[in-house]
Chains A and B, each alone.
Chain A
Amino acid sequence: MKKDETSDTDSFRRIAIDPVSRVEGHGKVTLLVDKHHQVQQARLHIVEFRGFERFIQGRPYWELPMIVQRLCGICPVSHHLAAGKAIDMLIGSEQLSDTADKTRRLLHYGQVLQSHALHFFHLASPDLLFGDGVSANDRNFIHLLDCHSEIAMKGVKLRKFGQKIIEAISGKRVHGSIAIPGGINRNLSTTQISSLQQQLDEVKPWLQEAVELAKKLYLGASHQQFAAITSPILSMVNDAGEFELYHGGLRARRDNGTLLFDQVNYCDYSKHILEEVKPWSYMKFPFLDALGKEKGWYRVGPLARVLNCDGMGFPVSEQARIDLMNCCPASEQSSLLYHWARMIELLYCGEAIEELLYDPVLLGSQLTVEPGIRQPECFGVIEAPRGTLIHHYIVDDQDLIQKANLIVSTTSNNQAMNMAIQDVCQKELNGNEITERLLNRVEMAIRAYDPCLSCATHAIGQMPLQIEVHSLSGDVVSKAGRDDTGAFSLMSGVSAESTGYATAHEN
């Protein structure tokens, strides 16, 4: 059977998990199960339609950095900077002044740091620290503040530090402004830099602790086989092949670790990455052309970046990378390994931020450079917290956007999330019963890649969870879920016991 086709429909039933919780945006998971109760297919449906690529058409190009950052409430800075880089290219000013380049980099590292802290501490760590031993109602960050207050507070303060960098540079914690064509609109004052240096002193020791915690949780709980999948990987690297978040060439590796391509100019991304559309999701499915549709799907983000680079470029995070490589063979690619890699990147950002905060060039006076030759087409690629982010625009003679193509990291990890869910369900779906444990583990697999499906906002608590069992004709056979307090409730036709199980009906 092909992944997206089911010819023998009488033999299958479909199970839907809707919505997915502690994952922002509206996602739904459906499982196709055969008569032997084996999961044959898992699909993560993204049912929101955003339409950014369409509605920015006709807007003047200089509005781009402000408009596109509205795609996301967690990582608006990434969209702001990717669009900023694209319009630098458009006006022929790709080579920014040192002050502008380093200020933008500092902003980006602050953004990655705050996003990673949020992702690991606020959203993922309740699963990793509490395991399945606590009720779903308590498996959230607020409960973490009670039970693991020291860890939780470090997470909160790390995120706050990242937010302070963003606020200082761009004026606001969310949806600020700094990138203008050819540079930046202001730079930091000595007072601001001094304040950030002091704040860094407080959080710096926790960066390494965060890596140790992620490592301990990963190795200690035998997560090595959880949602384990192998895939090609894609990320940006610098000229030396080292870790890079802001600007560099594209590098892809096959699932056996060998290089597929390296130092590809990101303006040529469309020669290497194609996108497939599937009727059941608003998200596209990108794949590496050289490997084809079936085998060319790839992963991006922290684990891809850490495995793909030749070194981190900073001593402490490099040691952490070597440690991860030594502990985990290349063939072992559990989805939860992403969290460990994520904390290594957090540490990298801390080291990079420290270097920049003591660099006098931040106080320089040249904020912009003169425009060069105007281009009709432009590209801005950046490594966003959750992976490679590609912005591509075509601008007409009137300076209006004619066409836009955005490949966001969630899209690149789309198939990986489907495969991770399938792996979890194949191992853990027992007979007909969808247990709360299974549901949470499906969500854990998604959260390992991305807690933000809508690129909108983020959640610290529990959203009401619904489970639906559908017949292949589309009828809802049964339905169960949680109410606003997190308590289990039966809505219709399900023979659930007080254990909180919803029993799926077979068609």
Chain B
Amino acid sequence: MKIDKAEMSLVASNSSEVLGSTRTALAPLQRAIRSHNQLFIFFCGNPARGDDSAGYLLYETLKSTHNQLIKNNKLNIIYDHQWQIEDALELKREGLFLFVDASARPGPPICLSAITTAQNIASTSHSLSPSQLLGVAAQVGIEPPEVLWQLGITGYCFELGAQMSPEVKLSCTFLIQVLDELIEDWSAQWVP
């Protein structure tokens, strides 16, 4: 699944207001990112379940755009269907961590929030939230990351086999543009 570049620029040029609001939503991230020389972006979602494919789409797009940064181990991006215990081992103290996933809760199209460590994860299923992942990391003695954000993309349809909704497609289009800008800004500062 891909968003066509031409389609992206057409939407972007006609929707400067939405692009502006996406930038505003991600402004705290932009400020924080400049002070961290390591950047980790964790994408999550099932590409077969409608809007849940947002994480996968963003991962694939950014992976191809920033291939060189990834190859040189400057930018660390990870993708999984669901977060599992093993993913807690990817966390570490230093760096800025960003979790990107579709959200089933009603809310603004894009929502950036800080993540706190879950205290009680004893009775959970196989799938962990970023907060529970932090809890597991704490349990096994991994110091929590200094800065950890969660980027939620509000979705509307998560049925198996469903297509991505136009709303989420639009959110992804703007997110790709803004995340690209953020990564370029960050790499200009930290990557020689």
Residues of the A chain whose Cβ atoms lie less than 8 Å from the Cβ of B139: 142, 145-146, 149
- Asked if B151 is an interface residue, CB under 8 A from chain A, the answer is no
Q: Are A156's CB and B122's CB within 8 A?
A: no
- Asked if B121 is an interface residue, CB under 8 A from chain A, the answer is yes
How many residues of A sit at the interface, in one of the four size bands? 20 to 34
Chain B 103-152 interface residues, beta-carbon cutoff 8 Å to A: 121-127, 136, 139-141
* Minimum CB–CB distance for A451 against chain B, Å: 11
Residues of the A chain whose Cβ atoms lie less than 8 Å from the Cβ of B89: 156-157, 160
Residues of the A chain whose Cβ atoms lie less than 8 Å from the Cβ of B122: 137-138, 140, 142-143, 461, 486
Q: Are A142's CB and B126's CB within 8 A?
A: no
Residues of the A chain whose Cβ atoms lie less than 8 Å from the Cβ of B136: 142, 145
* Minimum CB–CB distance for A110 against chain B, Å: 14
Partner of A153, one of B82, B126, B127, B140: B140
Q: Are B79's CB and A172's CB within 8 A?
A: yes
Q: How far is the CA of A149 from the CA of B82 in the complex (A)?
A: 23
- Asked if B7 is an interface residue, CB under 8 A from chain A, the answer is no
Partner of B86, one of A24, A156, A461: A156
Residues of the A chain whose Cβ atoms lie less than 8 Å from the Cβ of B86: 156, 159-160, 163
Residues of the A chain whose Cβ atoms lie less than 8 Å from the Cβ of B85: 122, 141, 156, 460
Chain A 100-152 interface residues, beta-carbon cutoff 8 Å to B: 122, 137-138, 140-143, 145-146, 149, 152
Q: Are B123's CB and A173's CB within 8 A?
A: no
Q: How far is the CA of A221 from the CA of B124 in the complex (A)?
A: 28
Q: Are B124's CB and A461's CB within 8 A?
A: yes
Q: A149-B140, A160-B89 are in contact. Are A459 and B126 (CB under 8 A)?
A: yes
Residues of the B chain whose Cβ atoms lie less than 8 Å from the Cβ of A70: 48
Closest to A73 in B: B81
Q: Are B123's CB and A174's CB within 8 A?
A: no
Residues of the B chain whose Cβ atoms lie less than 8 Å from the Cβ of A159: 86
Q: How far is the CA of A484 from the CA of B166 in the complex (A)?
A: 35
Most chain A beta-carbon neighbours within 10 Å: one of B89, B123, B140: B123
Q: Are A463's CB and B81's CB within 8 A?
A: no
Q: How far is the CA of A485 from the CA of B48 in the complex (A)?
A: 30
Q: Are A145's CB and B140's CB within 8 A?
A: yes
Chain A 140-194 interface residues, beta-carbon cutoff 8 Å to B: 140-143, 145-146, 149, 152-153, 156-157, 159-160, 163, 172-175
- Asked if B159 is an interface residue, CB under 8 A from chain A, the answer is no
Closest to B71 in A: A191
- Asked if B181 is an interface residue, CB under 8 A from chain A, the answer is no
Partner of A173, one of B80, B124, B125: B80
- Asked if A308 is an interface residue, CB under 8 A from chain B, the answer is no
Most chain A beta-carbon neighbours within 10 Å: one of B85, B121, B136, B140: B85
Knowing that A145-B136, A156-B86, A462-B123 touch, tell me 13 more A-B residue pairs with CB under 8 angstroms.
A73-B81, A137-B122, A142-B136, A142-B139, A146-B139, A149-B139, A156-B89, A172-B79, A457-B82, A460-B85, A461-B126, A484-B123, A486-B123
**What 4 A-B pairs have minimum CB-CB distances, sorted nearest first?**
A160-B86, A461-B124, A459-B126, A145-B139
